[in-house]
Amino acid sequence: MREMHQASRNAAATLPTPESTDDAFREVTEELTALRDLYEEAPLAYVKEDLQSRFISANRAAQRILGLKPEEVVGTVGLSLVPKRPDAQRTAREQFAIQVRGAETRGVVVELQRKDDGKPVWIEIWAKPEPGGKYTRTMFLDVTDRVLMEQEKARLAAENIYLQEEINRFTTSRRSSAKARPCWTRWKK
């Protein structure tokens, strides 16, 4: 009997007291608040979306990049931000289909249109479905400046080729016209 009494005292000693429960609850709450703050204030954009591309949440960086107000986040369909051009639609749908199938996406560049002003924005995406497969977790960077610089570089390279061809045509035509003139007109002052 004495052993049972001692066992019950030991069991009672291990039960949480109201004070220790309050402390544990406060500690967990503080940790959750800190994690929420890290998520909201992160310089990288984070979006959580369901398998129909509806946003569940988006941090401030994502809202800024996509031109969303905080009250517009929940329910926004991510694929609705894709320009109506076939190439942009195809790239975005292919990328999202990979996520829906449960695979991870890394470094894919997708063109979107900001919701507030319709301006183009290019993002580089890293996405991973959650283990249960009910939603995806997407991180992205705004690479608009990089894409626009690459486009400008390509335009300047094409213009350079055109100008080189024009110079070659001009010098070739001058040489052929110089050959066609009589020799005494070339030396005339």
Q: In terms of domains, do 134 and 58 share one?
A: yes
Residues 67 and 153 in one domain: no
Please indicate, yes or no, if residue 24 is contained in any of the structural domains.
Answer: yes
The answer to whether residue 188 sits within a structural domain is: no
Give domain status of residue 109, yes or no: yes
Q: Does 3 fall in a domain?
A: yes
- Span 112-160, pLDDT tens digits: 999 999 999 999 999 989 888 889 999 999 999 999 899 899 999 999 9
Q: How far is Cα 83 from Cα 88, in angstroms, rounded to an integer?
A: 6
Mean pLDDT of all residues belonging to the chain: 85
Q: Is residue 18 part of a domain?
A: yes
> In this structure, are 129 and 164 located in the same domain?
no
The reply to whether 86 and 3 lie within a common domain is: no
Is the residue at 59 inside a domain?
yes
Q: Do 48 and 122 fall into the same domain? A: yes
- Which of these, 134, 81, 133, 90, lies nearest to 108 by C-alpha position? 90
pLDDT at 1 over 70: no
Q: How far apart are CA 54 and CA 92, in angstroms?
A: 14
Domain holding 59, by residue range, is: 43-142
Whether residues 88 and 122 fall in one domain: yes
Do both 36 and 25 map to the same domain?
yes
* Short-list 70, 16, 63, 26, CA closest to 44: 63
Is residue 67 located within the same domain as residue 123? yes
Give the range among 11-25, 28-42, 78-92 with minimum mean pLDDT: 11-25
Is residue 50 one of the residues assigned to a domain?
Answer: yes
Task: Check whether residue 51 and residue 121 sit in a common domain.
Answer: yes
pTM: 0.70
Same domain, 86 and 173: no
Average pLDDT over residues 2-21: 61
- Please check whether residues 15 and 47 belong to one and the same domain: no
Per-residue confidence at 41, pLDDT binned at 50, 70, 90? Answer: confident
Find the mean pLDDT for residues 7-17.
59
Residue 11 has pLDDT above 70, yes or no: no
Residue 186 clears pLDDT 80, i.e. is over it = no
- Domains contained in the chain, number: 3
User: What residues pair up with 106 in beta bridges, in sequence order?
Assistant: 126
How far apart are alpha carbons 165 and 167 in whole angstroms? 5
How far, in Å, CA of 12 to CA of 63, rounded? 51
187 within domain boundaries: no
